[in-house]
């Protein structure tokens, strides 16, 4: 188990990614089958607002972004945003 930021709000959550397969010729695209999400609210934001910008999803879902200083965290958030974009 390691702490990873929630894909939506960035709050650290205990997360162990589970993969379906390497993503070749599969609809999973090699992404974890259990997205790193901290709560039902955030999970809703992932699936309810597909097609909107990342920031718009947070606003629509009424979720405040968890903030924490640090370059590493920023990079992880960037990776999370890339993941969200891949869901469009
Ligand atoms: Zn969250
Ligand atoms: Zn797969």
pLDDT in tens, 28-74: 888 888 888 999 888 888 777 778 887 887 788 888 888 766 667 67
What is the distance in A from the centroid of ligand 1 to the CA of 73?
A: 14
pLDDT at 67: 73
What is the distance in A from the centroid of ligand 1 to the CA of 64?
A: 9
What is the distance in A from the centroid of ligand 1 to the CA of 25?
A: 30
Whether residue 86 is contained in a domain is answered as no
Whether residue 88 is contained in a domain is answered as no
Give residue 24's Cα distance to chain centre.
21
pLDDT at 14: 93
pLDDT at 76: 78
**What domain range is 37 assigned to?**
2-81
| SS3 label, residue 77 | helix
Ligand nearest to the CA of 32: 2
What is the total count of domains within the chain? 1
pLDDT digits (tens, 9 = 90+) for 5-25: 998 888 999 999 899 998 889
Predicted TM-score of the model (pTM):
0.57
Whether residue 87 is contained in a domain is answered as no
């Amino acid at each position: 188990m390691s702490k990873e930021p929630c894909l939506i709000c960035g709050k650290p959550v205990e997360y162990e990614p589970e993969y379906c397969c390497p993503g070749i010729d599969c609809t999973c695209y090699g992404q974890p089958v259990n997205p790193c999400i901290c709560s039902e609210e955030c999970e809703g934001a992932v699936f309810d607002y597909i097609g909107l910008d990342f920031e718009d999803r947070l606003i629509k879902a009424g979720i405040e972004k968890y903030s924490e200083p640090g370059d590493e965290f920023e990079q992880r958030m960037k990776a999370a945003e890339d993941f969200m974009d891949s869901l469009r």
